[in-house]
Amino acid sequence: MLRELFALWRDRGARLARSLGQDREAVSIAARHRRCRAAWEPHLAATRRLVLDAAVLAPERDTAVVLGSGACLDVPVAELAEQFAQVVLVDAHHPWQARALAKGLPNVRLVAADVTGLAGVARDVAKGRAALPSPVPLPDPLPGIAPDFTASVNLASQLAIPFYSRLGRRLPDEARQAFYTGIVMAHGDWLAGLPGRVCLCCDTAWERVDGDKVLESCDALEGVALPPPDRTWTWAIAPRPEESPAYDRQNRVAGYLDFAAAWRGRKASEMPAAMA
């Protein structure tokens, strides 16, 4: 705990990161990675492989964008920097590991952004100065950038979480849930509208397990159903006794080499049912 507090003091985020709790989350992730490094590596390797396999399919080699880059544990930054003229890492907080990588690679730059674009809106809602937007608007965290390749990396399931404590119980459960679901939907719609190749890697379920027995399973995407993925795997995020000596924590992960096409196909297949 003292080590984590010192790490947070040394690597405190800017105002945006602090408001979303992303600097604290980065410290927690780094600490858990140290403790669970061996268990995490298959997931991290699978994510890096997915990103590189999708990047090869990009139509041009000018700009690659990675959303949710964090400490870049799951992002093959150096390999992308060799393939593209510039690599843009986007996150609300860039920990020292990401800053060190960018410093050593001249064509890598960091953009601090709220990928949802809703931090200010949620603050106003919490203070009673505004209503929740309905529908949730599409974000625009990349003004002026037309990527040839975009990867959303282990991010979609995390988008709504910073708003849980901010909104609290100030609004009806139904309104808050519709907002959280809308955040994930807007992320998918925005990704599907980007130029170039789009790759998505994200949790779909969070589970407590005891061997082969699933003790508890929780939807990770606020009720949003994804199209069939190209790849799936399990992330052993907290093997016992990390959270408890009685169970292991694992995440179900889905990966898409061409998310835009998969997402548009999903929405097209839903249209007749919606029209009926």
- State pLDDT tens for residues 83-105: 999 999 999 889 988 999 999 99
Entry pTM: 0.88
Q: How many CB atoms lie within 10 A of CB 52?
A: 15
Going through 130-186 in order, the beta strands assigned E by DSSP cover 149-153
Identify whether the C-beta of residue 115 lies closer than 8 Å to the C-beta of residue 159.
yes
pLDDT of 1 > 50? The answer is no
Q: What is the arithmetic mean of pLDDT over 74-79?
A: 97
Higher-scoring residue by pLDDT: 191, 96: 191
Q: Which of 8-12, 225-229, 259-263 is predicted least confidently?
A: 8-12
Structural domains in the chain, CATH included, are 43-205+224-233+253-275 (3.40.50)
Cα separation, 234 vs 251, whole angstroms:
6
Q: What is the arithmetic mean of pLDDT over 17-26?
A: 59
Cα separation, 181 vs 223, whole angstroms:
6
Kind plus residue range of the DSSP H or E element containing 132: none
pLDDT above 90 as % of the chain: 67
Task: List, for residues 139-163, the tens digit of each pLDDT value.
Answer: 888 888 999 999 999 999 999 998 8
Confidence (pLDDT) at 67 = 97
Cis peptide bond N-terminal to 95, omega within 30: no
The terminus-to-terminus CA distance of the chain in angstroms comes to: 56
> Which residue is associated with the tokens 């925005």?
190
Amino acid, res. 267: K
pLDDT of 39 > 90? The answer is yes
pLDDT of 49 > 50? The answer is yes
